[in-house]
């Protein structure tokens, strides 16, 4: 491998490392990630570094472990025969016996810092993006155990967009600086364990889920009645003692969450003796707390007397009272109770 080829390869694997860094940052985790390109004569170039936002005072030995996993895969042939190779490699007597290293077609990705099952998951996703098909992160989702925790975490962020799934679960999306989203979920009827997931857009979502699941000797869960804005399925990966769970979901088409509510299908906020009609502008970034609405008399949805001018901005506060955003005063007789999608 000459100098120019090596330089080009370094730039390429650096881009792949940036993909892993995006996943870590979005999930709020960090790990040491090494991406390497190996040729048949074992000439190789590698790029390693922390992915995600590293905690202060970090003295982890993860870099040492990641490079050990990489070396293990170099000796195992780096998947140059077109077959996926993963650590631990049974035939290597120097193996650390930990998951987290994967190789295919001469590309090695080695990860260390998280639970070893999740080191492997991040490595597999990074490898798939480079060697199989391109992945584009749509969102990171976090499932909360109860309604209070869900609502507290939603209130801590701005620009929330409520996109509940009637009869199944509550969810709020938050736009992120990199063009992706963060999703908060709460399932009233369960499951009530804490979990997180990456959701990707890719040409072959079934292929991604099968690739991940096969690496753990399991099968993916494919969803029934998948809508146009839904992922096709999920693979859940837990750590050894099942205290942490991270999933991978996949879809074929990008969903612009900001356009999720249309004027033709308005949402109604039921309140005490009034009906608040949400004017859903698909081009506007609707916020969770700041709701443009028209107050109509009655609670049947029929046209009533307009008792406020054009649009009247309310703020939903804890206790479900409605407040005038301009002066903070409580509007008597109005309590925001529930969202009903029509």
Q: What is the CATH number of the domain that holds 211?
A: 3.10.180.10
Token representation of residue 87: 């650590």
User: Among 114-128, 142-156, 262-276, 303-317, whose mean pLDDT is lowest?
Assistant: 303-317
Strands across the sheet containing 338-341: 330-335, 321-324, 312-316, 290-297, 274-278, 267-271, 338-341
Tell me what the mean pLDDT of segment 168-186 comes to.
94
| Distances from the Cα of 22 to the Cα of 55, 167, 273, angstroms | 16, 33, 47
Highest mean pLDDT among 5-14, 268-277, 292-301: 5-14
Name which residue leads in pLDDT, 325 or 7.
7
Same domain, 27 and 121: yes
pLDDT, averaged across the chain: 81
Q: For residues 170 and 183, is the Cβ–Cβ distance under 8 A? A: no
Of 58-72, 248-262, 281-295, the one with minimum mean pLDDT is 281-295
Indicate the residue among 243, 258, 273 that finishes a domain.
Answer: 258
| The last residue of a domain, from among 240, 258, 276 | 258
**Between vectors from CA 240 to CA 237 and to CA 244, what angle results, nearest 5°?**
55
| Percent of the chain surpassing pLDDT 90 | 63
pLDDT at 337 over 60: no
Among candidates 214, 216, 232, 213, which has minimal Cα distance to 224?
232
213, 286: one domain? no
Could you tell me if 22 and 63 lie in one domain? yes
Asked if the model's pLDDT at residue 231 lies above 90, the reply is yes
**Does pLDDT of 269 surpass 60?**
no
Tell me, yes or no, whether 93 and 185 share the same domain. no
Indicate if 203 and 169 belong to the same structural domain: yes
182 has pLDDT over 80:
yes
For the segment 22-60, what is each residue's pLDDT rounded down to a tens digit?
Answer: 999 999 999 999 999 999 998 999 999 999 999 889 999
Residues 10 and 127 in one domain: yes
259's torsion region: left (phi>0), alpha (psi -120 to 50) or beta?
Answer: alpha
CB 32 within 8 A of CB 51: yes
Considering the domain architecture, whether residues 330 and 310 belong to the same structural domain is answered as yes
181-186 and 136-144 beta bridge pairing: parallel
pLDDT in tens, 240-253: 999 999 999 999 99
Classify 141 as helix, strand or coil.
Answer: strand
Looking at the predicted structure, is the pLDDT value of residue 74 above 90? yes
pLDDT tens per residue, range 191-206? 999 999 999 999 999 9
Beta pairing class for 245-251 and 195-201: parallel
Closest by Cα among 27, 70, 75, 20 to 45: 70
More confident residue, 290 or 112: 112
Q: Which domain holds residue 238?
A: 136-258
Burial zone of 238 (CB within 10 Å; 0-12 exposed, 13-18 middle, 19+ buried): middle
Cα dihedral: 104, 108, 110, 116 (round 10): 10
For residues 122 and 140, state if they share a domain: no
Q: Are 21 and 51 in contact (CB under 8 A)?
A: yes
Residue 267: φ, ψ to 5°: -105, 145
The two three-digit tokens of residue 287, written as one number: 């916020």
By the 10 Å C-beta count (0-12 exposed, 13-18 middle, 19+ buried), 233 is classed as buried
pLDDT tens figures, 138-164: 999 999 999 999 999 998 888 888 888
Whether pLDDT at 313 is above 80? no
Q: Comparing C-alpha atoms, which of 10, 76, 14 is closest to residue 42?
A: 76
CA distance 258 to 266: 14
pLDDT of residue 107: 98
Within 10 angstroms of residue 273's Cβ, the number of other Cβ atoms is: 10
- Residue 78 sits in a domain of what CATH number? 3.30.450
Same domain for 169 and 80: no
Residue 219 and residue 288 in one domain: no
157 shares a domain with 80: no
Q: Does an H or E element contain 296, and which?
A: strand 290-297
Whether 272 has a pLDDT exceeding 50, the answer reads: no
The residue among 131, 149, 177 that closes a domain is 131
CB atoms within 10 A of CB 197: 23
H-type helices in 112-246, by residue range?
A: 116-131, 147-155, 205-214
CA distance 19 to 107: 15
Given a cut of 70, whether residue 283 has pLDDT beyond it is no
For the chain, the domain total comes to 3
Predicted local distance difference test score (pLDDT) of residue 229: 82
| 127 and 64 in a common domain | yes
Provide the angle, in degrees to the nearest 10, between the axes of the packed helices 205-214 and 116-131: 140
């Amino acid at each position: 491998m000459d100098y120019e080829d090596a330089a080009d390869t370094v730039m390429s694997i650096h881009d792949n490392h940036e993909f892993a860094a995006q996943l870590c940052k979005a999930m709020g985790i960090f790990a040491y990630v090494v991406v390497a390109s190996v040729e048949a004569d074992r000439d190789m170039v590698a790029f390693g570094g922390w992915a995600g936002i590293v905690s202060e005072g970090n003295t982890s030995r993860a870099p040492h472990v990641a490079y050990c996993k990489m070396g293990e895969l170099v000796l195992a042939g780096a998947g140059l025969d077109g077959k996926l190779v993963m650590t631990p490699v049974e035939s290597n007597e120097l193996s650390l016996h930990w998951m987290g290293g994967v190789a295919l077609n001469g590309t090695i990705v080695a990860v260390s810092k998280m639970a070893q099952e999740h080191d492997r998951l991040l490595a597999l996703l990074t490898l798939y993006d480079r060697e199989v098909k391109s992945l584009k992160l749509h969102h990171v989702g976090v499932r909360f155990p109860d309604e209070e925790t869900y609502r507290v975490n939603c209130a801590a962020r701005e620009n929330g967009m409520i996109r509940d799934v009637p009869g199944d679960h509550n969810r709020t999306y938050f736009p992120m600086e990199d063009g992706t989203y963060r999703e908060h979920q709460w399932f009233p009827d369960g499951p009530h364990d804490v979990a997180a997931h990456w959701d990707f857009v890719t040409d072959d979502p079934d292929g991604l889920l099968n690739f991940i699941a096969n690496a753990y000797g399991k099968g993916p869960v494919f969803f029934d009645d998948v809508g146009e804005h839904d992922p096709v399925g999920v693979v859940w990966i837990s750590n050894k003692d099942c205290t942490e769970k991270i999933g991978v979901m996949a879809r074929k088409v990008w969903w612009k969450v900001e356009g999720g509510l249309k004027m033709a299908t308005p949402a109604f906020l039921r309140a005490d003796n009034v009906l608040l009609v949400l004017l859903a502008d698909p081009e506007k970034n609707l916020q969770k707390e700041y709701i443009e609405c028209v107050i109509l008399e009655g609670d049947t949805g029929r046209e009533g007397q307009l008792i406020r001018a054009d649009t009247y901005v309310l703020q939903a506060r804890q206790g479900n009272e409605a407040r005038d955003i301009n002066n903070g005063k409580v509007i008597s007789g109005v309590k925001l109770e529930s969202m009903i999608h029509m």
